[in-house]
């Protein structure tokens, strides 16, 4: 009983930290366009700033994951939050564009340090049976930060365009101190010593990435990429799409995104553990890929507000179920390399966040329906890969029997 209470307390601290980090990212969204006008910059610079964050997150995620296996989850979480705080502070005081890039590069490293360590931490403090629930709660706190962040950022902007960045830095500093004081280490001294003394030499990020192609969990990493690609594709183009095609106002767009994201967050927080235990990860992954692809195609058929609101909430709910289901399977496949696999998970997610918006924006200029059509195709291909992987595993079990 005491152990369960301790695990719940640790989980709460993780959720608060993840929420704070994602809240800080969300805070800047509504003010970024006006903020960049101070520098005489526009959409091109905004796109490059997003890419800068994703690139360093991608490069450092596997490295940070390995370090968390060697030196513990806590130190990486603290370092990640500290870098996140420094990143937002630099952004707040920047007077030149190169400092903005520096800020985003540091922020990407901070995310690389923090997120894989948090995923591995959940694996450390949960059993296989309740790991899906734990990952779902962590994902829900991430989603909630994204949902609430823009609204708070818009309010804070009334006190000055730089106010959201200062507030984000202060909140990040509080989370850093809180983690240092109250988050216990989840990985035993013996496990850390074994990882440090291991004679197996790990390759650099690019070799690790190449090796992931041959890993038993490679298809799961591809599914993480395609899920993130599809979600980033959807989110990046949605305001432009519904404005140009259906004439939606900024208020209507805000309502749809907020309601949709909240629906996904509630499902993730309250039901993901039960869904995984009842249906299993593989069925959930396959069905959510199929239905999310259908949702993207259905988005092209009508501009009725309620119709689009329901579809958007449905799509966000499906992706909110899909991610922890894939993460749970990945965690079960990782063995004693939870940190390393969590790092590769974050690296593939970073690639999705880089390429999803970039591709969506490019093909949107070709045809307004192209981003969602491509997104649906990517999700259907992912369904095929998932089913093929399941078929191979079933065949291997039969053969072994």
- Mean pLDDT (whole number) for 182-202: 77
Q: What was the pLDDT predicted at 2? A: 47
Q: Average pLDDT, whole number, for the chain?
A: 79
| Token duo for residue 61 | 């995620």
pLDDT band at 39 (very low <50, low <70, confident <90, very high): confident
Q: Which of 57-61, 153-157, 262-266, 275-279 shows the lowest per-residue confidence on average (mean pLDDT)?
A: 153-157
Altogether, the residues listed in the chain come to a count of: 401
* pTM of the shown model: 0.66
More confident of the two residues 369 and 243: 369
Q: What was the pLDDT predicted at 396? A: 39
Q: Flag whether pLDDT at 91 surpasses 80.
A: yes
Q: What was the pLDDT predicted at 311? A: 92
Q: Flag whether pLDDT at 261 surpasses 80.
A: no
Q: Flag whether pLDDT at 399 surpasses 60.
A: no
| Token duo for residue 38 | 């101070």
More confident of the two residues 154 and 58: 58
Q: Flag whether pLDDT at 55 surpasses 60.
A: yes
Share above pLDDT 90 across residues of the chain, in percent, rounded to a whole number: 12
| 126 secondary structure, DSSP code | S
- Mean pLDDT (whole number) for 24-31: 65
Q: Flag whether pLDDT at 149 surpasses 50.
A: yes
Q: What was the pLDDT predicted at 183? A: 82
Q: What was the pLDDT predicted at 171? A: 85
Question: Which positions ≥6 away from 205 have C-beta within 8 Å?
Answer: 59, 60, 62, 63, 347
| Tens-digit pLDDT profile for residues 157-189 | 778 878 888 888 888 898 898 888 888 888 878
Q: What was the pLDDT predicted at 82? A: 94
Q: Flag whether pLDDT at 285 surpasses 80.
A: yes
Cα-trace Rg, the chain:
21
Backbone angles phi, psi at 369, to 5 degrees: -85, -10
Query: Cβ(333)–Cβ(224) under 8 Å?
Result: no
- CATH class of domain segment(s) 1-202: mainly alpha
> Taking the CB of residue 127, how many other CB atoms lie within 10 A of it?
9
Q: Is 72 helix (H, G, I), strand (E, B) or coil?
A: coil
Q: Which regions of the chain carry the CATH code 1.20.1250.20?
A: 1-202, 204-400
- CATH class of domain segment(s) 204-400: mainly alpha
Query: Cβ(54)–Cβ(60) under 8 Å?
Result: no
CA separation for the pair 117, 368 (Å, rounded)? 39
pLDDT band at 269 (very low <50, low <70, confident <90, very high): confident
Q: Flag whether pLDDT at 130 surpasses 70.
A: yes
Q: Flag whether pLDDT at 26 surpasses 80.
A: no
CA separation for the pair 120, 110 (Å, rounded)? 16
Q: Flag whether pLDDT at 122 surpasses 90.
A: no
Residue 112: left if φ>0, alpha if ψ -120 to 50, beta else—which one?
alpha
Q: What was the pLDDT predicted at 236? A: 67
Between the CA atoms of 357, 361, 366 and 369, what dihedral angle is there, to the nearest 10 degrees? 60
Query: Cβ(134)–Cβ(15) under 8 Å?
Result: no
pLDDT band at 398 (very low <50, low <70, confident <90, very high): very low
Q: Flag whether pLDDT at 339 surpasses 70.
A: no
Helix ranges (H only) for 28-42 are 32-37
């Amino acid at each position: 009983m005491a152990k369960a209470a301790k695990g719940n307390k640790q989980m709460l601290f993780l959720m608060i930290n993840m929420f704070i980090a994602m809240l800080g990212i969300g805070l800047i969204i509504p003010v970024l366009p006006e903020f960049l006008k101070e520098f005489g910059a526009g959409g091109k610079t905004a796109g490059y700033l997003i890419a800068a964050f994703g690139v360093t997150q991608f490069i450092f995620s596997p490295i940070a994951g390995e370090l968390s296996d060697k030196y513990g989850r806590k130190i990486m979480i603290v370092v990640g939050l500290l870098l996140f705080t420094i990143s937002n502070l630099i952004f707040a005081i920047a007077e030149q564009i190169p400092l903005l890039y520096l800020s985003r590069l540091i922020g990407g490293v901070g995310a690389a340090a923090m997120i894989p360590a948090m995923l591995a931490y959940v694996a450390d403090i949960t059993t296989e049976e309740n790991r899906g629930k734990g990952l779902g709660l962590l994902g829900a706190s991430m989603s909630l930060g994204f949902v609430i962040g823009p609204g708070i950022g818009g309010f804070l902007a009334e006190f000055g365009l730089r106010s959201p960045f200062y507030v984000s830095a202060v909140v990040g500093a509080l989370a850093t101190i809180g983690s240092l004081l109250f988050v216990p280490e989840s990985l035993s001294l013996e496990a850390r010593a074994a990882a440090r003394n291991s004679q197996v030499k790990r390759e650099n990020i690019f070799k690790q990435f190449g090796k992931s192609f041959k890993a038993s969990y490679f298809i799961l990493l591809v599914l993480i990429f395609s899920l993130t690609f599809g979600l980033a594709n959807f989110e990046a183009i949605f305001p432009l799409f519904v404005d140009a095609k259906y004439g939606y106002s900024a208020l209507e767009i805000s309502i749809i995104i907020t309601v949709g994201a909240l629906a996904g967050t509630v499902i993730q927080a309250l039901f993901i553990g039960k869904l995984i235990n009842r249906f299993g990860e593989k069925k959930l992954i396959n069905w959510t890929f199929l239905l999310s692809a259908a949702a993207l195609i259905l988005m092209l058929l009508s501009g009725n507000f309620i119709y689009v609101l329901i579809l958007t909430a449905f799509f966000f709910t499906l992706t909110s179920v899909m991610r922890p289901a894939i993460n749970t399977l990945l965690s079960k496949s990782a063995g004693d390399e939870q940190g390393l696999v969590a790092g590769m998970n974050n690296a593939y997610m970073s690639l999705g966040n880089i390429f999803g918006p970039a591709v969506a924006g490019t093909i949107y200029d070709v045809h307004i329906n192209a981003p969602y059509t491509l997104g649906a195709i990517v999700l259907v291909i992912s369904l095929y890969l998932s089913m093929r992987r399941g078929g191979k595993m079933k065949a291997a079990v039969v053969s072994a029997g």
